[in-house]
Amino acid sequence: MSTKIDIEKKYKPYVIILSIAVPTVVAVLFGVKIEGVDLSFLPPIYAGINGLTAILLIAAVLMIKKGKKEIHQKLMTTAVVCSLLFLAMYVAYHMTSDSTIYGDSNHDGERSIEETAVVGKSLLVYTFILISHIILSLIVMPLVMMTYLKGWASKVEAHKKWAKKTFPIWLYVAVSGVVVYFMISPYY
């Protein structure tokens, strides 16, 4: 008979495998281009999902601080689902669309010297936010899965310890995704 404590040992290998497989598959899919499919409507939707994820994360923390464990669990599960939806839409969009270049105001697929001068230092800000968002999104996925697994396995103290590290990173990834969208959206 399996106990909740056994859950972590049972599923930890899957967390490790998914932590490697998902970024690998995403990287491979970024090299796949599907012609003739217009998913240009997706960026505001997945940016909205990132915003919703941030709200859910904050609400979940507030609920657990109030001792409302069931609501916390539901909010966190919803945040995980939102993150999965975001990832699916993000990959689908990039498989069907050319990358948008920050500052490319004439939409010719290149940022000229003149366009670079117009965006100025905001290009550095955008680049910093985008790169940190991408790097932390790779890091946060296994953190989220391990934190969730520890909660599911009722390892409360370990869950809290992991959550204190995972929460700020996940919140940054969610919020920075929205910021990146608003910064790049004039160039779609």
Query: Could you report the average pLDDT of every consecutive run of 10 residues in the chain (188 residues)?
Result: 68 92 90 94 97 98 97 98 95 93 95 96 97 96 96 94 98 98 96
Please count the structural domains in the chain. Answer: 1
| Residue 6: predicted pLDDT | 81
| Residue 8: predicted pLDDT | 86
| Residue 3: predicted pLDDT | 52
Cα 165 to chain centroid distance, Å, stands at 16
Q: What is the largest CA-CA distance in the chain?
A: 69
Q: Which residue has the tokens 């993150």?
A: 83
The answer to whether residue 69 sits within a structural domain is yes
Phi first, then psi: give them for residue 36, nearest 5 degrees.
80, 5
The answer to whether residue 26 sits within a structural domain is no
pTM of the model: 0.90
The answer to whether residue 17 sits within a structural domain is no
Count of C-beta atoms within a 10 Å radius of residue 38: 8
For every residue of 38-61, DSSP letters joined together read --TTHHHHHHHHHHHHHHHHHHHH
| Residue 1: predicted pLDDT | 45
- Report d(CA 118, CA 104) in Å as an integer: 10
* Domain range enclosing 127: 37-100+119-187
Which CATH number characterizes residue 169's domain?
A: 1.20.120.80
| Residue 124: predicted pLDDT | 97
The answer to whether residue 13 sits within a structural domain is no
The answer to whether residue 111 sits within a structural domain is no
- Report d(CA 61, CA 64) in Å as an integer: 5
Check: CB of residue 99 under 8 Å from CB of residue 86.
no
Q: What is the pLDDT of residues 137-174, one digit of tens each?
A: 999 999 999 999 999 999 999 999 999 999 999 999 99
